[in-house]
Amino acid sequence: MKVLFVTSEMYPYAKAGGLGDVSFSLPRALKRLGVDIISAVPLYNFIDPKKHGIRHTGKWVGVYVNGGWYKFEILRKNNIFFFKNEELLKGSHVYGPAGWEYENSDIRFGSFCWAVAESLRKGIIDADTIHLNDWPTALIAVILKEIFGWDKKVILTIHNIAYQGIFDKEAIDRLALPSYLFNTDALEFWGRVNLLKGGIIYSDFITTVSSTYAEEILTQEYGYGLEGVLKRYRHKLRGILNGIDNEVWNPKKDPKIFENFSARDIDKKEKNKNILLKRFNINNADRPLFAFINRLTHQKGVELILESVEELSRLNAFFFFLGEGEYSNAFREIGNIYENIITKVSFDDALARQLYSSADFIMMPSFFEPCGLSHLIGMRYGCIPLVRETGGLADTVVDISEDKGYGITFKNPTKWEFLCAVKRAVELYHNKERLKKIRREVLKKDFSWKRFAREYLDLYNESYKTL
């Protein structure tokens, strides 16, 4: 069995969100399990091949899109194949500046899909199991199954169903697809073209990144219009939780944090906290520190935070927001107004690590959350999670009111339930004995890929057997 993992993001080359981390760590974890796996990624113009040691292979494929022929050069670094076309992959972002998508996204990613499919056809890349991720790669399922008529096994993982790759109906022509595919049992979606829908229909298996999210996307509230199609193909759908790379995230060895620590000397978190707060001209003063390290977008529940800001400012606690997104300005503003609210609008890896190692609580009040990684990383650094019970958050956090609970959860995305959870956390912070016990529970948890990569391996084996 040979697996090809196709993705539009991969850390450290190109990352817009959690998909970038998963595309880096999952193939590595699978490799450790003995899987013969290669990856394919677009070589966006902002990636500098020299800096990363990405080399020419001398190979290329031609694709026909938008009424013309384009040449994709294939480059390589170890097991990763990069597809380069300077004209189609321009711009300094993966999808577009925060909150926006490049106008030619159908061609940007559709051409990449054609290029990957062509290189499989030409034998430049060899694989019998193709693992796709999200809408930018979904068209590969349609091309391989419907246009090439191949029986390679295709698995599509949905990391976020809110993004589907929806375009006007002319996208069929622009992507050089047969016009009969514009029908409701293929790519048509309310008079438009939906690439994720095509991927769902033509893939052999669909996975998403937690069991709860796999259930949620079958409902109108979370399915973003695809619940009906998913219900029809429910037999192909399953949830596999994401893991984190325990080597990449390791408080014992992390060179970027102030004081390394492990479960045994968890008190060192306090030192990290003091140093970090001092850098921001704040005295620790025995107040809990809540961290939020995520994109500042609707999905992450930022409106709940903004609505509650007056109440948060009156609590005897610090709130630190690190991230970027549509709400960057609003967060900058609250950071300027309130003495106990700190905002840093950026994706700063070192600061994120320092914050994880300092914070008492990691917050994820998401409206929806397919899996969520920030709270898993936070737990690895001894932060107690405060999350809304949705998607992967519901599958990974147990409230302290339950036996062996190690987090604080709330059900409905309302200001009052959120504030109630924050207040419970503040109380817990002042009950030092209980706090210590719960921190120890948190640090005992294992959310590493070691556990979850095996489930992908089982799925690959299952699909390979039917080849």
Residues at the interface with ligand GLC (CB under 6 A): 17-19, 22, 159-160, 209, 242, 369-373, 392
Q: How far apart are the first and last CA of the chain?
A: 10
Looking at the Cβ atoms of 162 and 337, the one nearer to ligand GLC is 162
C-alpha pair distances (Å), 353 with each of 138, 246, 347, 365, 441 = 33, 14, 11, 20, 21
Sheet (strand 2-6) strand order? 55-65, 68-77, 80-84, 36-42, 2-6, 129-133, 153-158, 205-208, 237-239
Looking at the Cβ atoms of 17 and 110, the one nearer to ligand GLC is 17
Contact by Cβ (8 Å): 296, 328? yes
Instruction: List, in sequence order, the alpha helices (H) in 203-288.
Output: 211-216, 220-223, 227-232, 268-279
Looking at the Cβ atoms of 6 and 289, the one nearer to ligand GLC is 6
Looking at the Cβ atoms of 199 and 392, the one nearer to ligand GLC is 392
Backbone angles phi, psi at 315, to 5 degrees: -80, 155
C-alpha pair distances (Å), 101 with each of 11, 16, 134, 283 = 20, 12, 15, 42
Looking at the Cβ atoms of 242 and 409, the one nearer to ligand GLC is 242
E strands, 288-392, are: 289-293, 318-323, 341-345, 361-364, 384-388
Looking at the Cβ atoms of 296 and 373, the one nearer to ligand GLC is 373
Distance of CA 396 to the CA centre of its chain: 15
Q: Return the sign of the alpha-carbon dihedral for residues 300, 306, 311, 312.
A: positive
Looking at the Cβ atoms of 128 and 395, the one nearer to ligand GLC is 395
User: CB of residue 341 vs ligand GLC: minimum separation in angstroms?
Assistant: 24
Contact by Cβ (8 Å): 341, 313? yes
User: CB of residue 328 vs ligand GLC: minimum separation in angstroms?
Assistant: 18
**Pairing status of strand 205-208 against strand 237-239:** parallel
Gap between the Cα atoms of 142 and 132, Å rounded: 12
User: CB of residue 181 vs ligand GLC: minimum separation in angstroms?
Assistant: 27
Looking at the Cβ atoms of 7 and 354, the one nearer to ligand GLC is 7
b/e code 21-57 from CB counts within 10 Å (16+ = b): bbbbbbbbbbeeeebebbbbbbbbeebebeeeebeee
User: CB of residue 149 vs ligand GLC: minimum separation in angstroms?
Assistant: 31
User: CB of residue 293 vs ligand GLC: minimum separation in angstroms?
Assistant: 13
Gap between the Cα atoms of 366 and 393, Å rounded: 9
What is the four-CA torsion angle of 213, 218, 220, 221, rounded to 10 degrees?
-10
Looking at the Cβ atoms of 199 and 372, the one nearer to ligand GLC is 372
Residue nearest to ligand GLC (CB): 18
Looking at the Cβ atoms of 157 and 308, the one nearer to ligand GLC is 157
Q: Which residues pair with 55 in a beta bridge?
A: 76
User: CB of residue 248 vs ligand GLC: minimum separation in angstroms?
Assistant: 15
User: CB of residue 18 vs ligand GLC: minimum separation in angstroms?
Assistant: 3
Q: How many CB atoms lie within 10 A of CB 282?
A: 17
User: CB of residue 228 vs ligand GLC: minimum separation in angstroms?
Assistant: 22
User: CB of residue 35 vs ligand GLC: minimum separation in angstroms?
Assistant: 19
- Residue 275's Cβ-side half-sphere holds a number of Cα atoms within 13 Å equal to 15
User: CB of residue 368 vs ligand GLC: minimum separation in angstroms?
Assistant: 8
